[in-house]
């Protein structure tokens, strides 16, 4: 049976995207691997512009919350990101065969609730996996950028939900993160992809 068609917005859209290493193997083995992936994100944004709102890089998978444009569609963006990192990883570790378990998984974000919960779901991923006790202890996610109100081209873009009073809305976002952090096992988004995989 052929692959199911991926749900894509007709022109541009906001997506939750994730991809895991083949056979659940680690795709990030050290700090320089994580940093290389972030560099690839930045380089891809320059070549095929898109907005990156949230991310979390885990040892054997990653999560992205991105918005595409009519000029830079999701399949093109993801092909560049996954191909470039795969080539880097294979060269560095002298590996053969595929790095990724399958093609990336994506979910089109259709409503405000889904959009609001996507960031907390992604940034709390390291906490749910048991790697850290709070999200700001995980270096390889976008949470610190919101916490410290920093923005840089290789990091995250101004979030589309922060379009009113920035300070108030940012405070509300951080409160959402804190609320879910205080309740072990609570998931802020109904996403089951890799949720039980560290």
Question: 5-51, pLDDT tens digit by residue?
Answer: 455 555 578 999 999 999 999 999 999 999 999 999 999 999 999 99
| Displacement of CA 4 from its chain's centroid (Å) | 22
How many CB atoms sit inside 10 A of residue 182's CB?
9
Q: Which two tokens stand for residue 95?
A: 């590996």
- Beta strands per DSSP E along 27-82: 51-57, 61-67
Q: Which two tokens stand for residue 65?
A: 């919350």
Choose among 2, 118, 114: nearest CA to 55: 118
**46-50, 134-138, 140-144, 194-198: which range is least confident on average?**
194-198
Return the higher-pLDDT residue of 179 and 183.
179
In sequence order, what are the beta bridge partners of 71? none
Q: What is the reported pLDDT for 1? A: 38
pLDDT tens by residue, 74-115: 999 999 999 999 999 999 999 889 999 988 999 999 887 788
Q: What is the reported pLDDT for 70? A: 81
Is the pLDDT reported for residue 170 higher than 80? no
The Cα 173–Cα 120 span in angstroms is 8
Average pLDDT, the chain: 81
- pTM, whole model, 2 decimals? 0.82
Do residues 84 and 150 lie in contact, with contact meaning Cβ atoms separated by under 8 Å? no
pLDDT tens by residue, 151-169: 444 467 766 555 556 666 6
Do residues 123 and 141 lie in contact, with contact meaning Cβ atoms separated by under 8 Å? yes
The Cα 148–Cα 133 span in angstroms is 18
Dihedral angle computed from the Cα positions of residues 68, 13, 22 and 194, in that order, rounded to the nearest 10 degrees = 130
């Amino acid at each position: 049976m052929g692959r199911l068609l991926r749900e894509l917005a007709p022109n541009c859209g906001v997506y939750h995207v994730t991809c895991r290493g083949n056979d659940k193997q680690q795709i990030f083995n050290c700090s320089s691997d994580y940093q290389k992936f972030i560099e690839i994100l930045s380089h891809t944004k320059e070549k095929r512009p898109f907005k990156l709102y949230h991310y979390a890089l885990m040892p054997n998978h990653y999560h992205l919350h991105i918005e595409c444009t009519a000029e830079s569609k999701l399949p093109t963006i993801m092909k560049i990101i996954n191909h470039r990192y795969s080539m880097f990883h294979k060269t560095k570790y002298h590996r053969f065969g595929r790095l990724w378990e399958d093609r990336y998984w994506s979910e089109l974000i259709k409503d405000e609730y889904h959009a609001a919960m996507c960031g907390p779901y992604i940034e709390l991923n390291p906490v749910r996996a048991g790697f850290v006790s709070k999200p700001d202890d995980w270096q390889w996610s976008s949470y610190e950028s919101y916490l410290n109100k920093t923005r840089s081209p290789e990091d995250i873009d101004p979030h589309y939900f922060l379009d009113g009073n920035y300070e108030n809305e940012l405070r509300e976002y951080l409160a959402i993160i804190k609320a879910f952090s205080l309740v072990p096992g609570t998931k802020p988004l109904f996403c089951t992809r890799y949720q039980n995989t560290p």
